[in-house]
Structures are given as C-alpha cells and as structure tokens.
Structure 1
Amino acid sequence: MSDVDVNLVLRSTRVITPEGTRAVSIAVAAGKIAAVLPYDAEVPAGARLEDFGDDVVLPGLVDTHVHVNDPGRTEWEGFWTATRAAAAGGITTLLDMPLNSLPPTTTVENLATKQQVARNKAHIDVGFWGGAVPSNVKDLRPLHDAGVFGFKCFLSPSGVEEFPELDQDRLARSMAEIAGFGGLLIVHAEDPHHLAAAPQESGPKYADFLASRPRDAENTAIEGLIAQAKRLNARVHVLHLSSSDALPLIAAAKREGVRISVESCPHFLTLTAEEVPDGATEFKCCPPIREAANQDALWEGLADGTIDCIVSDHSPCTTDLKTPDFASAWGGISSLQLGLPAIWTEARRRGLSLEDVVRWMSAAPAKLAGLDDRKGAIETGRDADFAVLAPDETFTVDPAELHHRNQVTAYAGKTLHGVVRSTWLRGERIVENGTLAEPTGRLLERNN
C-alpha cells in the first residue's frame, strides 16, 4: 500500500511481532496492517499517530472457547456482554461454542438463528463452532459448507439435555464424516464409565467434587480419541486439558504424526485445588481445577509444546445456579476479561515472557481456527487488531467492574499484573481505559 492509503500509525518501544519484541511503528490502512516500519519512520501525510511509549503492543488475542449462550439462555450470557468483556480483556476474536444456547448450533438453520442474534451485538469479531451430537451426522457437511470452524462433541454428559454426548460408535461415525471433508473435531474428553464409577458425594467440600472427576476419566478418553484419530487420519483437538497425566500420551501421539492439538485454560494454570474454599462453587468446572503439582506439569507441557494454546472456556451462569453444593452447582468459570492478566501474572512468576503468552493466546488459537492469515500476529496483511498492555501495573479484581453478564468469578480479590490500556479492532479503538465503543465486530466464517 502507498503512504496515501495509511490513515493510522501506532508506535511503541515494545511491539510483539513474529520476529520478537521490537521498537517499531505499525502502519494501518483500510483496517489492515500495511507495514511494520522502523520505530522512527516518518508518519505519512494525513495519518494519525498513536504513540504508546513503553506500553506493550500485542496482537489482539483469539479465544476459541467461549460459551455465549445466546439466544435461549441469554440471562446466563449474551453476545453484547460477552464481547464487551472480551474486548476489555484484549481479545479481538472469539469462537462461540455450539451448546448452552437454544437452539444449539447443530443444523444450518440453528446456525443462522445464532448469527442473526449476534450480528448487531458483537463488539469484536465472532465465529461459530458447530456441534456433533448423536442425531446430526447428516448435518455436519452442510454446517461445514455454511462456514463453521469445526465441530464440538462430548464423550460424557454435557449438562444440558439438548446436547447429548457421543458414545464410541457415534464418535467414530462423526469423526469419519468430518475427516471425509477435512474438518476439525474438538472434544470434551472425559470417559463416562470412569465418571460413573467415581464416588459421587453431594455437599460443599471441594475434595469430594475433585474425587468425582478423576484424572483417569480424562486420560482414558484421550487415549481412545488418539486411537480413533490415528485410525481415521482425522484432525482432532482436546478441549480444556486438566489432567497432566495425559501429556505423555499426547506427546507420543504427536511424535507419531497423529493430527492432534491441545488447549488448556487460565483456571487450570493459575488456580489450584488447595486454594478452593469449601462451598466456593465459583471455582467449579468440568474437568476440575486440580492440585498444584498437576499445574506445574501443565506449564511444562506448554513450555515443551505438548499443549498448543490457552483459551478461556468462559462458561457463565446466573448467580443462583452457583449453589454452595459442588454436586448440583453449575460448572463453569467466567474469565473472558481476566485471562490475559491471569496468565501473564503466573507466566512472569515462572520466568516466562509476554512473547510466550502471545504465542499461546493469539498465534496458536488463530492457527487452530484457520484464521492465521488474518489474525494472531502483527505483520503485514493481517487485520489491525491490537491490545495495548501495561505489563508491570497491577489491579485487584472487583467483580462489579467486569463486563460479562453475571459478575461471578473465581478471581475475585486477586491482584493481577497487566492492565489493558486499549483494544483495537481493524484499526479502530474499541476500548480505552475500560470505556467501550459501540459494537463494530463482524461475523466470521471458516476460510476454506
């Protein structure tokens, strides 16, 4: 692009690019990154300069695991509130999960319903996963052709009756169908037989809940998933890995060429079972938050590349569903706005860099979704999506200041490093110091 097309230049002494952290100027034209220039490059005539000093400019984060629940359970979360929270947390792209909304995203008609609801409410760019349930093998290819990014399934009960799990036979059928057109299957991997055999105690004790979701449930399910993916040469992705015991299985599968990728989540990487008070069901999720030693091993899995990315699994509900009984309370952590500072706080404590965080929370999720030609890095030709972060500043989490619909969070009262100064979507500032602009997000479809 020529200088006359450039309307905006962003400048910082610390910009995280694929080549490392650099002092550069970023030229923006028509919502795209036109060039990454030397720091002291001349600003083209007519272009506006935004100089962020020593604040760090990151590529906008990409969160591929968000339960928006709209329509149908909008009182739990909606597109307006979820995308506001995401934008305030430096996220510029999210993919919505196919369940907890009514209807679920299991047919092209249901997808169209969800798109219609989201269209004028999205503060950031939004794409959609389809669902794989026992009754919809015939709908998978039409959904793929309609632009969903892949298909989610459960191997154990999902918690909502309209989205049933797949047994091993139906898993094989759905996986074969999806592999046939080159799609991606993303899997909630907990084995129902191990869950059924585990002790099921009601009450407020977190230790009882943790015992009800044993690591073996994850390990066995992942082992079976690997075997099926290997047999069918299918592309699969393990959602919200909690059990570090599964890491050797996954690493071995990758070495053998199995087409498998893995995510974990901020709550597994920053919270521990030892710190969960009895009755504090804001910490409940499935699979569960495990012990500190398990968390250490998950960080090792991130460092060696066994775990590919970190995404929120933002799964909110109304306050009344978080009863003090761990057995009956809704399972889900609300963290869209807090994932970046939560992960950065722990990463810096462990001697890791913001470049690592960007790889896990922007570049890798964009690649998973096939959006890495548009999102996930600061380089020429990609969307001008940015988060501007003051990495050394701290804040204490006040639930009343969060933008998601129900201000329930496991991070209440925690002091975190990393304040998001502003968020930019296609060259337009959509958040500045916590104040949000009107929604300008677009609905995304899979590239091919």
Structure 2
Amino acid sequence: MVDVVIRARRVVTATGEIDRAIGVADGKIVAIEPFDADLPAAEDLTLPDEHVLMPGVVDTHVHVNEPGRTEWEGFATATRAAIAGGVTTIIDMPLNSIPPTTDVPALDLKRKTAEGQVHCDVGFWGGVVPGNLQELRGLHDHGVFGFKCFLLHSGVDEFPPVEPAELERALQALHSYDALLIVHAEDSQAIDRAPTAHGERYSDFLASRPRGAENVAIAQVIELARWTGARVHILHLSSSDALPMIASARRDGVRITAETCPHYLSFTAEAVPDGATQYKCCPPIREASNRELLWQGLRDGVIDCIVSDHSPCTPDLKRFDIGDFGVAWGGIASVEVGLSAIWSEARTRGFTLADVSRWMSGRPAEIAGLRHKGRIALGYDADFAVFEPDAGRVIDPAQLHHRHPVTPYAFRPLAGVVRETWLRGARASGQPTGRLLTRGNA
C-alpha cells in the first residue's frame, strides 16, 4: 500500500514522455510502473489525457528580499507565487535582504524569518563580499548551496563587489571544499566606460550595459576557474557572444556551467516600449538576433538551465512616473510565469516538454546539489507540476501571487497552464507546508 498513485498518459521523465503510474509514499517516489499497473493506494488518481505530469520546477535564482526589504517581496508571497507556477523548490539569493547572507548569524536570521511561511521548499545561497573570506567555510558547513558574488556594484551598498584578487582568493578557498561560486559577470570598468543610462529610450539603457561587459567578465571568471580548479556558474547569461568561450573552457576541463532566464528568451530589445521600465534588468534584454543565439546555446547544451532571477521591488522604484531607465530599479518579477513563458517560446522552435523540464528542473537541481529534486525517478521527492500544455492564458498581473502586480509579462498571452502543484506527495493546499533545505538534507 502506497499513499497515492498518480496515473498519467504523459509523464515527463529523463528519457522523454511516457505513460506511467507513479507511486508515492512518505513524500518520495517509490514506484514507476505501467499505466494500468495494480498499485494498491490510499488515493488513486488518473489525470485527464490533456494533462502532463512533470517534475516540479527548481528555481535556483530567486530574490525573496526578507528580512529587511520585505516590502519588496517576502517568503510568504514569493513561495506562494512559486507554487502557483509549478515551482516546488527555490534557492534564495543572499542579497537585497538586510542583512545579506554573508555570515552564519545572517543565515540563521533568514532561516528563522522564513520558518513557517514557505509554501515550497527553500534553500539558501551564501555571499562572497570583500572581507568575509573567513566566513565562507562556516556558511558552507551550515548548509548553503554555494556562494554568490558580483564583479560590479550590485545595486545595494550592503553587498559590495569583489576585485579580481579577492575573487581568486575566494575561489581557492571554495575549491578546498568543492563549493560552488555563482557569479554576476559584468565588468565594472566596461560599464563605467559605457554611455550613462538615462531617459525613456530603451536603446540608451542597452548601450549602458554592453555585451562586452559580460564577455570580459566571463573570460576573467573562466581563467580564474582554470587556475584554481574551482567550480563556477555564470548567472543570468544575456550575451550570446560568450557562448563560444564557455564551450571552449568546458572542452579544456574548466568546471563551468551557465544559466539564462525567461526574459532573455522571450523579449527583445527592439520591442521594449519607451519608458517601460518593467523590462529593466541587469544584464539587459538584448536584440532579437541575440535571443535566437541563446536558444541555440540551449540546443547545443552550452547553456545548462533556465531560472527566473525573480527580482521584484515596490512599484515606485520602477519610476513609472518618469519612465527613466537610468534611475529605475533593475529586476523582473517572473517566478510564477516562467514555465509557461518558456513553453510558449520553446514549442515554436521544436523543443519538447522533456527539454523544458531538463532546463528548468533537472539541471538546476544537479548544479545546486539538490540530490532528490528535479526528476520523476525512484527515490526522488514527489514534487510535481500538473501542466496542460495546449491550454493558454493571458497574464493578468492582478491575479499573480507575488507581492506587487508589476511584471513585463502583463497581458501577454502564454501557452500552457499549471493545473496543480504537488509538494512531497501532497497537493499544494494554500498552506505553508514547504521545508527549509540545507545542502545536507536536500
């Protein structure tokens, strides 16, 4: 007797879509059998033929902002939005909260704040900033999934960037216990020498964050990873120019992975209206030709995964009153819509739901070290998104669950609707049943 059996004509596994009966006990997948298999269960559920059982999305790049900037977001609202979008696990970024997660007391405070509020499972990244090298091992031992750093101003003064020498020392330390460094890779000097961002024209903002700033920074990270042997991960890749460098580094044995985000794969610079600061993010949304090369990077396996970089703020910080890209906060709220946004674009390019699941569930989990997440496989957590790929919806920002109804996806038609989300073998019920994860218990 198992707790529940879910039967579906379309189950997304690592090998593609198949019809299966999935048996769940104690929150784990304990059986994967033919659709009509005799599996005694307390609950036996058969999905409609138009529904697909997918692994829950694993979003390893979310800014929750609590404590300290809870008016921007918060654990309750961010994780409720995640569950609504089929996301069963997030990993929270170490900055935009106050204090940032750069030492063990800050991590303990963040966990205490999150306790009892989370609707999905939540892990935490630590941070690398100038002067906290001695804090990294303690954070690692307390279960963070890795460490984030910036190579230019992060946008908040309490999380300053690291210089090349500091970056090298951090990589040497992290290599000694095989911890992962995730990097916001834009070069500060290249940004300083670019035109200043100002005004309503998106083209002016785009010129202020040139591709070269990403390319130079990524090249620097590659060489430091080569010298130190450390594991590195490039965050929110927007410059397709960097793809050959990443591919070449991997061929040379450099341990480097890379992610991109739904907004870089959905929007184009040419289509951003003047003054539409809801599209502002850093690095920026680039040209249509660049977008297609990012999709090719996914096809080729150079880009490993797709994560949201959910980075909301209060509406006033977007400066809709003046529409000035130079002074508006840079960040896009999208944790709830990412699966539909990517499926909308992926299906038109010949990709499958198995591809989408690999990019949004399997690979993010593998990179972060979430050993029981991201796959429908024996022994894994029974985290599922029940997805109807041929349904559609128009995004009404007032109906989204993150704290503020601001998103560039507003009123955009998207393909695919999340019908249910299951967390560790139970339907999401609207109650905060998520767990706080550490590297050792994930």
Query: What TM-score do the two structures reach when normalised by structure 1?
Result: 0.97
Amino acid at match of 2:332: I
> Per-residue deviation at 1:19?
2.5
- Aligned twin of 1:287: 283
* Corresponding position: 1:437 with 2:430: yes
- Aligned twin of 2:439: 446
Across the two proteins, how many residue pairs are aligned to each other? 437
Amino acid at match of 2:360: M
Amino acid at match of 1:438: Q
- Aligned twin of 2:29: 33
Amino acid at match of 1:442: R
Supply the RMSD in Å over aligned alpha carbons: 0.8
- Aligned twin of 1:67: 63
* Corresponding position: 1:273 with 2:269: yes
Is the contact between residue 11 and residue 53 of structure 1 (CA under 8 Å) also seen in structure 2?
Answer: no
* Corresponding position: 1:384 with 2:382: yes
- Aligned twin of 2:11: 15
- Aligned twin of 2:82: 86
Q: What are the within-5 Å matches in structure 2 for residues 36-435 of structure 1?
A: 36-44=32-40, 46-54=41-49, 55-323=51-319, 324-371=323-370, 373-430=371-428
> Per-residue deviation at 1:221?
0.2
Runs (4+) of structure 1 moved beyond 2 Å? Answer: none
Amino acid at match of 1:426: R
User: Deviation digits for residues 330-364 of structure 1, max 9, x if unmatched?
Assistant: 00000000000000000001111100000000000
> Per-residue deviation at 1:53?
2.0
User: Deviation digits for residues 392-445 of structure 1, max 9, x if unmatched?
Assistant: 000000000000001100001110000000000001100xxxxx5201000000
Alpha-carbon separation, structure 1, partners of 2:15 and 2:155? 43
Alpha-carbon separation, structure 2, partners of 1:201 and 1:14? 48
Alpha-carbon separation, structure 1, partners of 2:27 and 2:271? 44
SS at match of 2:30: strand
SS at match of 1:208: helix
User: Deviation digits for residues 310-330 of structure 1, max 9, x if unmatched?
Assistant: 000000000000011100000
Structure 1 unaligned runs (5+)? Answer: 431-435
Query: What TM-score do the two structures reach when normalised by structure 2?
Result: 0.98
> Per-residue deviation at 1:177?
1.0
SS at match of 2:265: helix
Is the contact between residue 13 and residue 375 of structure 2 (CA under 8 Å) also seen in structure 1?
Answer: yes
SS at match of 1:229: helix
Alpha-carbon separation, structure 2, partners of 1:90 and 1:33? 18
Is the contact between residue 7 and residue 47 of structure 2 (CA under 8 Å) also seen in structure 1?
Answer: yes
Amino acid at match of 1:144: H
Alpha-carbon separation, structure 2, partners of 1:102 and 1:136? 16
Is the contact between residue 14 and residue 358 of structure 2 (CA under 8 Å) also seen in structure 1?
Answer: no
Is the contact between residue 234 and residue 258 of structure 2 (CA under 8 Å) also seen in structure 1?
Answer: yes
